[in-house]
Amino acid sequence: MTKSLTLPDAERDHVSGSANGSIKLLEYGDYECPFCADAQPVVKEIQRRLGDDLLFAFRHFPLANIHPHSEHAAEAAEAAGAQANFWGMHHLLFENQSALEDKDLAAYAGELGLDATRLIREVASTAYARRIREDFRDGVRAGVNGTPTLFINGERYDGARDLKHLLNALTAM
């Protein structure tokens, strides 16, 4: 049975690209997952190639039982988003998966020109835990059980996550 879910919602989800894009790519990811990190350059290249035809969205699916820093990293991304730089933090977290302690998160906030004290305070207080749990629950309902899990136009994509196969799947929809 093919699982599907609601398409990315530009009002709620973290999105990049055109809301009018005919292709919607949604990723459920975990900032400490090496497979998610491997997928990021592919997603960036797809965004470059498809331009305004693509709307990309990211939802949190921290696998905290195997990735102990994943929830704090998701909190940091949300806290950065509250300071209008979700995507900057998103990219830094994936580029620095082996350094996700709070001191590292504060350094990334500083690198992005964010208020690092505010970011760490929000991470420590789990200010965005509800949002992250909502993403996780939505993912579970859609059949997500690992990361990264991708959906194209609301349909789960279980094919290869290399550029050729994913680009073919996106443009075939």
Neighbours of 127 (CB within 10 A): 16
8 A C-beta contact, residue 12 and residue 130: no
Which two three-digit tokens encode residue 108?
């990334």
pLDDT in tens, 110-167: 999 999 999 999 999 999 999 999 999 999 999 999 999 999 999 999 999 999 999 9
**Every domain of the chain and the residues it spans:** 14-172
CATH 3.30.1330.10 fits 14-172, yes or no: no
pTM for the complete prediction?
A: 0.93
